[in-house]
Structure 1
Amino acid sequence: MISVAVVDAETPGNVGTIARSMKNFGLSELLLVDPPELDPDGEAYGFAGQAREDILPNAREVPFDHLAENYHTVACTATTNEDASNHVRYPAKTPAELADSLRGVESDTCVVFGRERVGLTNDELARLDELCSIPASADYPVLNLGQAATIVLYELRELTVERDQHPEELHARADERAVEGLHGEFERFLAASGHPEGKRPKTRRLFRRLLGRAHPTGRETRTLRGVFRKARQRIERAESAESAESRDG
């Protein structure tokens, strides 16, 4: 299970925004260390969307020690450009790398976000197990707390969102028979459209390379095959009608 903790948030609105992101990406346990007042009629609930119904009302206020003592902890901090000489803030994983490293971890994990202006202190970071940092422009690497949480939780979605909400068929590459069927239909389209015969092999190779890079899904393959088939059939009907008119004339 992955939980989220917010340490000493300054504005209720950011707590609400984080709760909303948790709802978006399948997390439910929100832990608050030294939180601001969360008025049910205030901005926290106003920013939380549907998370106002369950995540915010069930958020638990805990001391910082509770996080370190009960969870595998991940500290989220701004990009620091530090190297191994600063072991408190180095090394840091990106959110995508964090998702890979947590895959298969059986212990409860808590992703910890710090204060809006100063983040987590060095003393707090020293007590947490891993670091996560979002790569950003060197000119302005610090993100808004709510934005940072949304990016991190989005990258963790593979671990927190039920797979049946995103059927594999929608994302998986089409099987080779379907892809070859599309290539066959494209070849027939080239012939029907009058594409120069000497250029057809090169054009077919270009199309094959394009599909090879694109990894089309089953739905995409069926749709493209249908487009080429209908275009070919329309060309063939037009040519048949023209031929008939020529004979009658």
Structure 2
Amino acid sequence: MSRDPPVVVVVDAKTPGNIGTIARAMKNFGMTDLKLVNPPELDPDGEAHGFAGHAREDVLPNADEVTFEEVVANYHTVGCTAITGEDSRRHVRFPFKTPRELADSLRTVDAPTALVFGREGRGLDNEELAQLDEVCSIPASDDYPVLNLGQAATILLYELRDLTVEETQLPDVERERAEEADIERFHDYVGDFLDASGYKPVKRDKTRRLVRRLVGRAHPTDREIHTLLGVLRRATAQLDHRSELLDEYDEPDRWDK
């Protein structure tokens, strides 16, 4: 990534544990620069450091105390709020973006960016939001839309991860799909199995198409497709052997009844 990740600003937090939770989420999702406006005392033996996990080693102790005015003056700012305006007549909180929409729009913003979170309970007030460049809000139940400060920050930072994290602990799922040649072998075995089981010829093509669509949506892994190949190969061989025995002893095929 060519640009620096956004900085995270927490305004007037009252609970040290929330600051620790935010610091941990920052470390999870590739952000390191935490700035605090009017923070509570962060005791090294207190809950902020306890909730921060490994972020107590770098993100939390390196946090800067700043003023709100300094943030506004030096960054492209995104204010985070649970309560939004419904239309353009309430312009302080409208328009707003969801975290996913914000992730898309920030790809085109080539400027130092700050994600600004407000205090517990009432968040950022209208006067503060009016000084910020953008507004972001997390869709939640209309009955209870206000999230815990630490939870809200974690959700937003997760949605921005493609801008801040080059590689995660998860494998590249695009490389896990089985080879196309093996998938085609599976489809051939499906045809052999249908033939050996005496499946009605008029239904075979349709059934094979449905199986192909199902497998196409499933994106089976190499192990999964080879397991299925083994099952079909064994089942088809047993059906073929059964047919040979029936032919040898000239017994009626009860399956045809």
Query: Which residue matches 1:225?
Result: 225
Aligned residues: 243
Query: What is the deviation of 1:121?
Result: 1.1
Cα RMSD of the aligned pairs, angstroms, is 2.6
Give, in whole Å, the separation in 1 of the partners of 2:77 and 2:32: 16
The answer for unaligned runs of 5 or more in structure 2 is 250-257
Query: What is the deviation of 1:43?
Result: 0.3
Contact 2:103–2:163 (CA under 8 A) maintained in structure 1: yes
Q: Identity of counterpart residues, as a percentage? A: 58
1:207-245 Cα offsets, whole Å, 9 max, x none, are: 333345x362xxx34234212210122114434665687
Contact 2:193–2:236 (CA under 8 A) maintained in structure 1: no
Specify whether residues 228 and 200 from structure 1 end up closer, same or farther in structure 2 by C-alpha distance, changes over 3 A only: farther
Contact 2:176–2:222 (CA under 8 A) maintained in structure 1: no
Query: Which residue matches 2:63?
Result: 59
Please say which structure displays the higher CA radius of gyration. 2
Letter of the structure 1 residue corresponding to residue 54 of structure 2: Q
The answer for unaligned runs of 5 or more in structure 1 is none
Give, in whole Å, the separation in 2 of the partners of 1:40 and 1:93: 36
1:56-135 to 2 correspondences below 5 Å: 56-135=60-139
SS class of match (1:73): strand
1:43 equivalenced with 2:47 (yes/no): yes
1:36-94 Cα offsets, whole Å, 9 max, x none, are: 11111000011111111110010111001111111111001003252110110001100
Alignment partner for residue 13 of structure 1, among 11, 14, 17?
Answer: 17
1:163-221 Cα offsets, whole Å, 9 max, x none, are: 375554x1469599455455444434444555443322222222333345x362xxx34
Give, in whole Å, the separation in 2 of the partners of 1:20 and 1:67: 22
TM-score computed with the length of structure 2 as normaliser: 0.84
Give, in whole Å, the separation in 2 of the partners of 1:94 and 1:15: 22
Using the TM superposition, name which of 123-132 and 183-192 deviates more. 183-192
Give, in whole Å, the separation in 1 of the partners of 2:177 and 2:104: 25
Letter of the structure 2 residue corresponding to residue 234 of structure 1: R
Specify whether residues 224 and 74 from structure 1 end up closer, same or farther in structure 2 by C-alpha distance, changes over 3 A only: same
Specify whether residues 207 and 245 from structure 1 end up closer, same or farther in structure 2 by C-alpha distance, changes over 3 A only: closer
Give, in whole Å, the separation in 2 of the partners of 1:233 and 1:55: 56
SS class of match (2:79): strand
Letter of the structure 2 residue corresponding to residue 49 of structure 1: G
Letter of the structure 1 residue corresponding to residue 167 of structure 2: R
Using the TM superposition, name which of 9-18 and 239-248 deviates more. 239-248
